[in-house]
Amino acid sequence: MRLGGRARVSGSQMQIILVRHGRPDHGAARWSTPVGMKTWVERYNAAEVVAAERPDSLVALAGSVGIVVCSSLQRCIESRSHLECDCCELPDPLFAEPHLPYPEWGLPLLPSRFWRLAFRTAWFLGFASHTEHIRESTRRASAAADRLIELAEANESVLLMGHKIMNALIARQLRQRGWRGPALPLLTGYWQPSRYSKG
């Protein structure tokens, strides 16, 4: 069967597939001050993804689902464009990643990787300087889950080209709604899908 110009996944179960975007090829500094992470975030957001790393199996998967949607951030828009699918849905900010928070500290100078882990961990605990609070991101994730379920009900299957953190928040909402799938999509690498099903 076909719906919206794309083959539907066979079987009676609805599927929602959460995919993490391709790896951004960014040249951000390896060392940074806390306030310097603003530049790190800007470069990460502007970087092109490494298309050569996209697995062929993901192209086949995108061609088999009812509809393919993506976040409004550039790395997801670009990643979806490498799936070679007829993607007519507009990029949606509902699925966008909350940016990394950072304080206005000029010191100390430490590895950027350390600040990324420290500030993202702090974000989960409520730190939201220069970004969206986790409460708002959780609210968006709930709305995003409802939107994906709506698309799955209409198309039998939907693939979201999204982000590591936001996909994890969406996955939690899907599981709370009775969908079966991985509890920890945070462990998923670039270009990798996490499947959720119900029916």
For tokens 């000029």, what's the residue? Answer: 106
The answer for residues whose C-beta is within 8 angstroms of residue 162's C-beta and 6 or more apart is 18, 19, 20, 21, 70, 71, 76, 95, 97, 170
pLDDT score of 90 more than 60: yes
Read off the pLDDT band of 4 (50, 70, 90): very low
Q: What is the mean pLDDT of residues 38-66?
A: 95
Q: What is the mean pLDDT of residues 128-140?
A: 97
pLDDT score of 162 more than 70: yes
Which residues are bridge partners to 52 per DSSP? none
- Mind listing the pLDDT tens digit for each residue in 177-187? 999 999 887 67
Buried b (16+ CB within 10 A) or exposed e, 5-15: ebebbeeeebb
pLDDT score of 70 more than 90: yes
Read off the pLDDT band of 11 (50, 70, 90): low
Fold of the 2-198 domain: Rossmann fold (3.40.50)
How do strand 31-32 and strand 14-20 relate by DSSP bridges?
Answer: unpaired
CB 82 within 8 A of CB 22: yes
Can you give the pLDDT at residue 2? 33
Mean pLDDT rounded to a whole number for the chain? 92
Which residues are bridge partners to 31 per DSSP? 111
Indicate the length of the chain as a whole number: 199
Read off the pLDDT band of 1 (50, 70, 90): very low
Buried b (16+ CB within 10 A) or exposed e, 46-78: ebebeeeebeeebeebbebbbbbbbbebbbbbb
The secondary structure of 34-46 as a DSSP string is TTTHHHHHHHHHH
CA atoms within 13 A on the CB side of 89: 26
pLDDT score of 191 more than 70: yes
CB 179 within 8 A of CB 158: no
Here the tokens at position 171 are 């996955």
- Looking at the chain, which runs of residues are DSSP E strands? 2-3, 6-7, 14-20, 31-32, 67-70, 110-111, 157-162, 193-198
pLDDT score of 9 more than 70: no
Read off the pLDDT band of 26 (50, 70, 90): confident
Read off the pLDDT band of 6 (50, 70, 90): very low
pLDDT score of 12 more than 70: no
